[in-house]
Amino acid sequence: MLDAVIYQPITALGDCSLKISLPLLQLMGLRTAPLANSVMTSSGAYPGLAANSACGLLTDLARQLQKLQIEPRSLLTGYTRDLALYEEIQQFKQQFPACLVCVDPVLGDNGKMYGSLPAQALAAAVKLLKIADFVTPNATETQLLLGEKVSDWRTAAQKLQQLGAKNVLLKDWPAATDVGAGAGAEKNQSSGCNYFLSSTGEQYTSTFARYGIGEVTAYSGTGDCFAALFWGTYLRTGDYRRAMEQAGKLTGLAVRVSNDFWRKQAAAGKTTGPYSLLWQHCLPVLAQELAGEGGDFQWMNLSAKR
């Protein structure tokens, strides 16, 4: 059994997508098949990026898996530029109906769609919801997918389910005592919330601490880190509550490690940016946590559902 096919870009500059997802899932003891859907000179945080699509590789992989009689247990998507890549994902699900599809619709943040994406990518992402067993949008991406601002997270999640998604995880929403703060709220609070609505109507909420430097309250690669941690934990445990808690805690740790470095840079008067997760610092810390050294993540004691 192949635990996870990861279909995301590989970037030279900026730590995101495959550079984050692959090592995290491997550290969890999962058998992975990383496949670059594009090769990029940088993440979108850097100006002037160039990219080449790798369209066709997922189709080739599906053909090879069928010949080898290997069943993929899941597919994890991410940033997707080329419209043909969305079609490949649809076809992959048709070829492997039992394969769980976790769609991380990397479309935008801070109220705006990423300028590096073609305008048609939004409609393609909405269409992808029809095959999504799990979808993990942030507040901005939820707004883009729905075509409207919805402050009540439950309503937003239900609307995404009406578009086809089975289980909805709304990540990085403002924490609030009521449902009035949501996709339209600013990320200036000391904590945030992740909300989950299952296909059977179960609800779960987890909170996390925010860390920022000056006006910066988010780091490039944070969403990829959360999605990979959530998906890997869910595959190991089958427990979305535990997966949300683990993902929130460890993503917060990665942000804190990166934030400490950026603060030191700022204090020294050094020009910094673009701000991103510093994977060379984060990965050793997360590896220690996932191995259970100094943390409560005893992965080898978990009963993996194979």
State the catalytic residues: 224
Residue 237 tokens read as 């445990």
Concatenate the DSSP letters of all residues of 35-65 into one string.
Answer: EEEEEEEE-TTSTT--EEE-TTHHHHHHHHH
For 35, 64, 94, 254, 282, the CA distances from 258, given in Å and listed in that order, are 27, 39, 40, 6, 7
Cα–Cα distance for residue pair 27/288, rounded to 1 Å: 10
Concatenate the DSSP letters of all residues of 116-171 into one string.
Answer: TS-TTHHHHHHHHGGG-SEE---HHHHHHHHTS----HHHHHHHHHHTT-SEEEEE
3-state secondary structure of 183: coil
Cα–Cα distance for residue pair 220/226, rounded to 1 Å: 12
For 102, 236, 239, the CA distances from 163, given in Å and listed in that order, are 15, 28, 24
For 28, 29, 254, 267, the CA distances from 235, given in Å and listed in that order, are 10, 10, 21, 41
